[in-house]
Amino acid sequence: MAQLHPHFTALASPASLAELASVSKAGIRTGAPDIEISAIAPLAEAGPGLLVWLRDADRLDDLAGRSGYVVITTETLADQLADQLADQRAGAAAVLTCENPRAGFARAAARLYPQPAPQAGVAPGAVIDPTAEIAADAEIGPNCVIGPAVQLGPRSILAAGVQLAAGTIIGADCHIGAGCLLQFCQLGDGCVLKPGSIIGGAGFGFEPTAEGALAVPHLGGVEIGPDCHIGSGCTIDRGGMEATRIGAGVKIDNQVHIAHNVQIGDHTIIAGQTGIAGSAVIGARCLIGAQAGIADHVHIADDTVLMARTGVTKSLAQAGVYGGFPAQKAKDYWKELASLRRLRLAGRKEASK
């Protein structure tokens, strides 16, 4: 059975079925509350003491012939699993049920593999301005540079080579990845930045003149709410005169660019390689697919879904699922693609006569 790589993953901290049911917000359908779970595993490698999750009926066969595992699934799939394995000796040692098995598994896995606590202190090579306010239990990695009047909150971690320019404010329990540069910004508690992201750089603001493009000063900042996740290689520009604002709980994938004065509502999720132009306003709880492009100054309603590679050139005042370029309702987009395909096929048929 394949195991998680010991150099990349800490050893699991075992937990009882009752404890995992509590943290995963799941109910115990079958199994003794004191069963011990020692690790997680892919579905096809389920075995004694291992936790797996099941959300799709077409994966039921992966559990055939396996026994002793603990599975998080839905009530409906638990019924199907029981029926399928009724005539086999194999089966689960325990079944936990909840509406969203992947979310339940994520919560349980976080309990089994907790993030290491900060190792309070300053590593060799770090340079810290004497006016910076550093929490006593913060961790500062090798070769970090911390400028004047920086505030670094309790239990926050700076990986190697992080640079915090003057006045940067980092809340509690944040983790800033290696090589990040932060300036003119403040982060709420519990934020995660992956390596190589740059927050608070000047936006791309130029005004054409007879003498050439004139740089427009950017004097605002960046405000990032609590519990945000920002992937590797992202850039979030400071505002022109007001702040660029990222709401609470926003999750941003790798290589996303957010221009000056953009406003993003709480709990919106943005997939990789998306570009958002200046002063765009994106509502709360939106889902933005990979490589989407959003023009400047447009407004996007709360709870809107943009399919991958959607190009938003005008405001979307009504929540819905959109696709294509320029963006349109997904059902219209698919109809248009189907019509084009029929025309193409008809043209081929005509040409072959």
Residues forming the active site: 260
CB atoms within 10 A of CB 150: 21
What does the block give as tokens for 231?
């992937």
Q: For 152, phi and psi rounded to 5 degrees?
A: -120, 120
Taking the C-alpha atoms of residue 183 and residue 168, their distance in angstroms, rounded to an integer, is 6
- Rounded CA-CA distance 202/221 in Å is 9
146: which strand partners? 128, 164
Q: Is the dihedral of CA 342, 344, 349, 353 positive or negative?
A: positive
134-to-155, 204, 226, 227, 229 alpha-carbon distances in Å: 10, 32, 19, 20, 22
